[in-house]
Chain A
Amino acid sequence: MKMLIETMKVDFKLQLRDFVVLFYSLIFPSLMLLIFGGMYGNLPSPFYGGFGTVDVMVPSFVGIVVAVNGIMNLPLTLVEYRDKKILKRLMATPLKPVYIIISQLVVNLIITIIGFLIVAVFGKLIFNLHFYGNVLLFIVAFLISTLSIFSIGFLIASFIRNSRVATTVANIIYFPMLFLSGATLPLETMPKFMLGIAKAVPLTYAVDLIKRTWLSSDIAWLDMGLSLSIDIFLLCAVTVVCFIISITQFKWYYD
């Protein structure tokens, strides 16, 4: 247990020294909120079914934070650790290798939570953000979403050997995901064709799930061809499949 805590301490410190992590997790969502909140305010809007723009936007921004930690940060760190043979070096210590993975998952989860809290507090202070949901339900939705996106990151880390390739792949997945999942641009504005593409993006379901549980304790609410049960089913399926493949494929080092 001591070793796990020490591992997390190191990983956490290192994450906080990484500009990309800091910017996209902690600053970027609030910046977006300032811009869009400044444009549209938080008065009830017919476009969002009577909810304020900020009230809809803040839970969506969870998607930005989850994705940067899960799709960029998690795999890039693991691939870097392997590329630099840090994992190999650690294999020759009494440290349990699985702690390295657990530490990455936990640390990225903590940063995701901090990132979300910052934008939420920001929203509350400046735009009088409302929460309409059930707290417990929201937390469960948050965890399911985070875990599923993190599992995709773990999958990337299992298949890509080289840090530079991993950075490219993570960017190629991350940025389109950001704009096609409803995390930044509302799905409500999208034409049918683009909505179809959005439905192929796992993050869409994570954003939808978080938004639902934020805006209503009545979980059947808001239908854009998505539903709570589909969200949960798909996210859980992604998590299970990605983790199983990753666990069998992940290499600590290459011979």
Chain B
Amino acid sequence: MNVIEVRNLKKYYGDVKAVDGISFEVNEGEIFGMVGPNGAGKTTTIECIEGLRKPDEGEIRVLDLNPQKDREKIYKLISIQLQETSYQDKIKVYEICEFFSSFYSNPLDYKKLLDKFGLHEFRNSYVMKLSGGQKQKLSILLALLPDPRIVFLDEITTGLDPKARREMWEMVKDLKKEGRVVFLTTHYMEEAEVLCDRVAIVDYGRIVALDTPEELVTKSGIDEMVSFEVDMIDVSKLREVKGVSVVNFKDGEVVLYGKGGDLLKGIVDYLNANRLTFRNLRTKKPNLEDTFLKLTGKKYEEEKDEDVN
């Protein structure tokens, strides 16, 4: 069953086509991700689905409800973490938990969640005293209070250190284990690759590709890289090995590109058959980032932490 259906979504800001005709579905039980550079339309899309922005065109159904019209019903079933929300400086952790709990008739026990997220000892702290990672955990905790069927996470790990980021990933995986659908946006390709069952690559307000991370990479047709060190080699013979497309040999190092499941085996067989001793054999498979670069034709800006959208 499709829990989210988006048909031909458009949202323009003046001349800027923030979202320019996006369609997709999200299925029960999956972690669905949107990746793309800053300003690609990720946040606009997610906020249209959440009912926080009004689409100019197109149709959105979330759990068979219209996010614009069924506001009160929908916010008992879905929950969100906004990109860059902060809370009142001088509200205490337990106070904001109680406040958000009061919105729902049967909320999850925030005390158990504080325990689970390692925030128990901070329950009496002001929110402003929490670290970035702790604030994000609190955001997820608040989003979980209604025991939602779908959780929307917008750039959940932006600005976090690597350890906190990995903790977030574990939390997101747990959401899936609990049977929730997760819809996330990120501009970290690695994050999408690790977490998402399916990924939509967005650029200039359009989806340029949508599939499982593995399929996206495979379909991209990007070559695998194999490198090794060898004293002497006949480059033209090496080119004849099945799957190999490009071979470079310089200063005793071979760097070659090619594809196919037998690529590495073919190369090693060739080297052994010709009694060539090789050292430091390494391979690098294409990843989602390579795929992204190929599809969008641009250098990915991982450093920028802000989505202008």
Contact = CB atoms under 8 A, between A and B. Distances in A.
The yes or no verdict on A and B being binding partners is: yes
Given A84-B85, A92-B80, A14 B90 contact: yes
A10 B92 CA distance: 10
A18 B91 CA distance: 11
A88 B102 contact: no
Contact of A14 (B52, B85, B91): B91
A93 interface: yes
A197 interface: no
B52 A88 contact: yes
B53 A92 contact: no
A127 B224 CA distance: 89
Interface string A54-86: 000000000000000000000000001100111
Interface residues of B, number: 27
Contacts of B104: 94
B190 interface: no
Contacts of A92: 50-52, 75, 79-80, 82
Contacts of B85: 84-86, 88-89
A10 B91 contact: yes
B53 A255 contact: yes
A188 interface: no
Contacts of A86: 85-88
B103 A94 contact: yes
17 contacts: A2-B102, A9-B99, A10-B95, A18-B90, A81-B88, A85-B82, A85-B85, A88-B52, A91-B52, A92-B50, A92-B52, A92-B75, A93-B100, A94-B103, A253-B52, A255-B13, A255-B53
Interface string A86-107: 1011011111000000000000
A9 B94 CA distance: 13
Interface in A1-53: 2-3, 6-7, 9-10, 13-14, 17-18
Nearest to B80: A92
Nearest to A253: B52
Interface in B79-129: 79-80, 82, 84-88, 90-91, 95-96, 98-100, 102-104
Contacts of B80: 89, 92
Interface string B52-96: 110000000000000000001001100110101111101100011
A95 B100 CA distance: 9
Contacts of B146: 93
B100 A84 contact: no
Contacts of B99: 6-7, 9-10
Given A18-B90, A92-B50, A6 B102 contact: yes
Contacts of B103: 3, 93-95
* Residue of A6, A18, A94 most packed against chain B (CB within 10 A): A94
Contacts of A253: 52
Nearest to A5: B102
A18 B88 CA distance: 11
Given A94-B103, A94-B104, A14 B88 contact: yes
Contacts of B82: 85, 88-89, 92
Contact of A94 (B51, B75, B84, B90): B75
B90 A17 contact: yes
Contacts of A84: 85-88
Nearest to B83: A85
Interface string A217-255: 000000000000000000000000000000000000101
A85 B50 CA distance: 15
A88 B85 CA distance: 8
Nearest to A81: B88
User: 8 tightest A-B contacts by CB?
Assistant: A6-B102, A85-B85, A17-B90, A84-B86, A93-B103, A92-B80, A89-B85, A94-B75
